Amino acid sequence: MKFIPAVLQGISIGLSSITAPPHRSISAVTKYTMSADKAAQNPKKPFPVGTIIPAKGFYVIITDTASFDGDLSGFGLSSSGEKVWLEDTTTSTIVDTITFAAMSTTQTYGRGPDGGTWTLLNTITRGTSNGSIVMNEIYSRGVAGNLDWIEIYNGVSAPVDISGYRIYDVGGQGGTKPKKPFPARTILSANGFYVIITDTASFDGDLSGFGLSSSGEKVWLEDTTTSTIVDTVTFGAMSTTQTWGRVPDGGTWQLLNTITRGTTNGTGTFVNYERTIPHGYALKQNYPNPFNPSTKIQFSIEKTGSTTLTVFDILGKEVATLVNGQLESGMYTVDWNAAGLSSGLYFYKLQCGDKSETRKMILMK
């Protein structure tokens, strides 16, 4: 049986995370910085006596201050990046080392998936799984030739083998049907997408085909190699031109009016709109204005028809499509989040049938 030692799992300014195989004692493990000055001035930082990492668990150690009696080794991690080591002093063995990069206050440097390739992560997951593989978009209004599907997203810059994953609805969760396996040798590319058809068998030996309810239901994504639920979501109803998806990719679930199967859902713009009493055709000034990073746009249409609401930068380049579909007559309010865009002047244009109107707005960060 091959023994896999504890490894460095994630690093943030002020702390480090360790992960280990089943019931690994790390009492005799020490960690220290690369800097010659620090190495000469500070002793290596020991882990407290009796420290046990549970099976497939995590342990976080504070590096820049003493965390227990007798520890004089406190050291800070450089915000511009540096090198650290993990050592088993019982065997004088370096079990892991990493040179990590600079990060912002909302980022960490971590392994994605857990124990995998190091990368800069935009979500801090202190003491928990880095969870790089998630469901990203769901379509439940499938018909022959365009069946129900779920899109999977890899949120790190390294490929991940998802052959050991399963996806299922309440039938698989309750044991009334088998869980749907991903085909053998399925590799999800770095920051890439994979679409799996759910309602019919997609390869030999798969008897788990299930349809997604058009009124919404709950689905699970499981890594059976570790018996871990890596993602779950209860999605809502959608029309034939909509999907449920995360915006930005891997982020918050939203009802999307543009289907982006197998591609990015966008860079942080999303829309929630509500039909109210109609007031003819009008496009109102956004509020607040200037804004950072969210604003509301109200408009009304007097006749049911194909409607678009788009945003352009000062050079005329389209940066967001907020509405694109058939709307009934009425007044609507659009909430737009411009996260990821630069400060400056933008234009938003409403087009419904042969009528159009354009207004200006200012993003000020």
pLDDT tens sequence across 220-256: 999 887 777 888 999 888 888 889 988 878 877 888 8
Residue % of the chain over a pLDDT of 70: 75
Reported confidence tier of residue 358, pLDDT bands at 50, 70, 90: very high
Please report where in the chains the tokens 């995998």 appear, as a residue. Answer: 116
Tell me the C-alpha distance between 100 and 118, whole Å: 8
CA 198-204-210 angle, 5° bins: 20
Residue 294 has pLDDT above 80, yes or no: yes
> Quick one: pLDDT at residue 208?
66
- The class (CATH top level) of 133-256 is mainly beta
Give the dihedral sign, CA 103/106/109/113: negative
Over residues 62-87, mean pLDDT = 73
Please tell me the predicted confidence (pLDDT) of residue 74. 67
Q: Taking a C-beta distance cutoff of 8 angstroms, is the pair 129, 136 a contact? A: no
What is the model's pLDDT at position 359? Answer: 96
> What is the per-residue pLDDT for 9?
64
pLDDT value of position 167: 93
Residue 294: what are its φ and ψ, rounded to 5°?
-110, 150
Eight-state DSSP code of residue 129: -
* Assessment of whether the complete model's pTM goes beyond 0.75: no
Residue 50 CA to residue 92 CA, distance in Å, equals 19
127 conformational bin, left if phi > 0, alpha if psi -120 to 50, beta if neither? left
Task: Show the tokens assigned to 149.
Answer: 């599907």
Specify the CATH class of 282-363 in words. Answer: mainly beta
Q: What is the pLDDT of residues 197-212, one digit of tens each?
A: 888 655 455 666 788 8
pLDDT confidence band for 33 (50 / 70 / 90):
very low
State in words which class domain 7-121 has: mainly beta
pLDDT in tens, 314-326: 999 988 878 776 6
CA nearest to 324, candidates 305, 341, 296, 337: 305
Query: Would you say residue 41 has pLDDT above 80?
Result: no
Read off the tokens for 365.
């960060």
CB under 8 A, 24+ apart: contacts of 224-233: 224/164, 224/165, 224/166, 224/179, 224/181, 225/164, 226/56, 228/56, 228/129, 230/129, 230/131, 230/133, 230/134, 230/165, 231/131, 231/133, 231/134, 231/135, 233/135, 233/138
User: Hey, where are the domains in the chain?
Assistant: 7-121, 133-256, 282-363
Q: How would DSSP label each residue in 185-227?
A: T-EEPTT-EEEEE-SS--STT-----PPPTT-EEEEEEETTTT
Q: Which two tokens stand for residue 360?
A: 């200006």
DSSP state of 72: -
Domains 133-256 and 282-363 share a fold: yes
